[in-house]
A and B are shown apart, each in its own frame.
Chain A
Amino acid sequence: MSILECKDLSKNYGHAPALDHVSFTVEPGHIVGLLGPNGSGKTTLIKLANGLLTPSEGSITICGMAPGKNTCAAVSYLPERTAIPTWMSAAQLLDFYGDFYADFRRDAAEEMLHHLNIQPKQRIKQMSKGTREKVQLIMVMSRAAKLYLLDEPIGGVDPATRDYILSTIIGNYNPEGAVVISTHLIADVEKVLDEVVFINQGRLVLRSSVDEIREEKGMSVDALFREVFKC
């Protein structure tokens, strides 16, 4: 069964369509890049998959189920902004994730926090913005989830942090699950992707594997993106 399936998925905000009859599937074991310029509908799609929005038309399913309580147990979501409660200490945050998610690998998370020199008693509030983002990523990637939905994980970070984020993703995702990474910074992520889905103005423009693009067109996904979305 597909991990994620969109069928004719549409979402309107008022009269403006944010997503316009999008259909595609994501299969187990794949890392998929959801690529498009700013405002193309990437975040809307990810919010729909998380049940934070409801579709206007069409359907979106995760492992065959409509988004809800059950799919949330299978989905690990990295929102665009830092959302972990700041009053908690690192240890309390670990308790929190451990309590709510049966697939949370606490020892893996502890090791990664230790690697960043974060003490269990340290409060999220006392951490720098960059560290908070890393802590949130660690929580998300420490789950053995069926689907990881990562919304702009490398937006606005320096190259060293970008490498840290990408290697944390590759080194920790559940190989039986699937990963969806939304971004407009394609050159940075294309090496870690199996497939790409281009969306623009809410419509699906292209769907292909990364090696296919390089083999058939003789260009990188980044170069193809620039060509497709030329202003």
Chain B
Amino acid sequence: MRWQFSNELPIYSQLIEQIKVGVVSGMFPPGERLPSVRDLATEAGVNPNTMQRAMTELERDGLVYSQRTAGRFVTEDKVMIENAKRDLAQHHIHAFLAAMFRLGFQRDEIASLLQQQTQEEGLSNVDSGM
């Protein structure tokens, strides 16, 4: 897993988001045991206390759960993971729209631009397929 951090947001909230991405993308599959907080922190190059805080928040949301002795696991609830995926998607869409509005595009213009892009990519995919 590649960890990247921006300068503006608190580290723990960036950790939450990146672990969520890990779960949604299947990097951490449902029901799988997560590495220890210290190992994850070492891998991400962050303070273990910060990683602990992120884990506590994820537990509160229910995306991970801990068993007293065995460690911490990804939820097996597929619906919850799907919801998390949608949340993340929403988040990206909002950011995208905000950026496009700043550039002066209207909603319908954005939609048609997106459609156009999708068609081009579809064609180029076919090209490269041949």
Contact = CB atoms under 8 A, between A and B. Distances in A.
B10 A191 contact: no
Given A29-B49, A170-B47, A219 B7 contact: yes
A170 B11 contact: no
B130 to A, nearest CB: 43
B45 A211 contact: no
A142 B12 CA distance: 27
Interface string A7-41: 00000000000000000000001110000000000
A211 B12 contact: yes
A215 B5 contact: no
Interface string B17-58: 000000000000000000000110111111111100000000
A163 B42 CA distance: 10
Interface of A: 29-31, 163, 166-167, 170-171, 175, 191-194, 210-211, 214-215, 218-220, 222-223
Interface of B: 5, 7-12, 38-39, 41-50
Query: Which 6 A-B residue pairs are closest in the complex by CB-CB distance?
Result: A220-B7, A171-B42, A211-B10, A214-B10, A191-B46, A170-B42
8 contacts: A31-B47, A192-B47, A193-B47, A210-B50, A211-B10, A211-B12, A219-B8, A220-B7
